Structure 1
Amino acid sequence: MARLILFNKPYGVLSQFTDKGTADSPRATLSDHIALPGVYPAGRLDRDSEGLLVLTDDGRQQARIANPRFKAPKTYLVQVEGAPDDAALAALRSGVTLKDGPTRPAQVSRIDPPDLWPRDPPVRYRKSVPDTWLSLTITEGRNRQVRRMTAHVGHPTLRLVRWRVGDWTLDGLTPGQWRDA
């Protein structure tokens, strides 16, 4: 039976087990948190993103989760700069055209600030510029896609937390913690 691990990837951790960076400035990797042989991430999260990373020891399952062809929905809690108006949200819902082509339509809504752990380092705070939290669900996984989508509609991402992949959620996991699914 395939092993499936749900991991709350902290900010600043690479979504891989090794780092080919320089020896004098090592970066945190999955191996700093997970000591299980034979499991690999099904998809990626950028170093400056947090949240749910699914790992498995089954290559087929890994492909079904990560490959956009299978359209596994991924839900993100996104703190953006400014207050997106209805037109900006409608653009995200319709799909926006990025440099690498049009995105699939996203499900997006404004939400109250979620009850999340503090981020280290904290998100910059600007007294004169408001921020807004969105719940955004996509069925693709291009490089930095959510960040590029929100920037495209004029609202750069300040904090990005993946909360759900398919039926799996981050619920109950603190940063750096993992559990079997």
Structure 2
Amino acid sequence: MLLNKPYGVLTQFTDREGRETLADYVDLKGVYPAGRLDRDSEGLLLLTDDGPLQAEISHPKYKKPKCYWVQVEGDVDAAALEQLRQGVLLKDGKTRPAKAEHIEEPELWPRNPPVRFRKEIPTSWLALTITEGRNRQVRRMTAAVGFPTLRLVRYSIGDWTLNGLAPGQWREIDSPPRAKRKPNPNPRRPMAQRGRRRTNRGRTA
């Protein structure tokens, strides 16, 4: 299922501090978020009861592209865009190359609470597509090139987008077909048969 996660909502179903969680918007049982979206970020979140699909979306080895609409402080120049495209050096290593481009301000719902602007400093909107998911990565990337993030909205995950979803709304979708796995050339015994004691006749007991 696709959910447009509102600002201020935790990407989990319970919280001891009483903050808003996914349970305030999703009444389906047995689904879990595929990846995370920070509490102060908005936009597309995919939830599923399909374990392999969850791993395919959330694990960086699959390089699933995720596109973010990012409002930053300042006029982003060509040099900063090129840095984002080449990869940015962060404390936990250099990021993978990203797609980065200027966009016009998208038609979005008002954020609650509103973004705090500094009147004397202009803002810019970027479309930033990454293929990994480090902690607060987009915010760290824009800050590293000199343009702090003010608002962050995830627009798409792979081919899925938040089009048609108001904040807090969700809809069910079909899981995509998967390519068949190649047979294992070195099959191992099932887990249930491993490590069993053998009799004198060589059978498992």
Which TM-score bucket, shorter chain as reference? Answer: over 0.9
Given residue 67 of structure 1, which amino acid in structure 2 is its aligned partner?
H
* CA RMSD in angstroms, aligned pairs only: 0.6
Identity, in percent, stands at 69
Aligned residue pairs, count: 173
| Greater RCO, CA 8 A, separation 6+ | 1
Kindly report structure 1 stretches of 4+ aligned residues shifted beyond 2 Å. Answer: none
Q: Which residue matches 1:168? A: 160
Q: Which residue matches 1:20? A: 16
Q: Which residue matches 2:23? A: 31
Q: Which residue matches 2:7? A: 11
Q: Say if 2:71 is the partner of 1:71.
A: no
Shift of 1:96: 0.5
Q: Which residue matches 1:139? A: 131
Aligned equivalents of 1:142, 1:36: Cα separation in 2? 28
Shift of 1:113: 0.3
Shift of 1:20: 3.0
State the SS of the aligned residue for 2:124: strand
Q: Deviations over 1:39-59 (max 9, x none)?
A: 000000000000000000011
Structure 2 unaligned residues grouped into runs of 5+: 174-205
Aligned equivalents of 2:117, 2:92: Cα separation in 1? 31
Shift of 1:75: 0.1
Q: What TM-score comes out, normalization by structure 2 length?
A: 0.84
Shift of 1:125: 2.0
Q: Say if 2:170 is the partner of 1:178.
A: yes
Give the structure with the higher percent strand.
1
State the SS of the aligned residue for 1:90: helix
Structure 1 unaligned residues grouped into runs of 5+: none
Aligned equivalents of 2:129, 2:16: Cα separation in 1? 32
Aligned equivalents of 2:143, 2:127: Cα separation in 1? 15
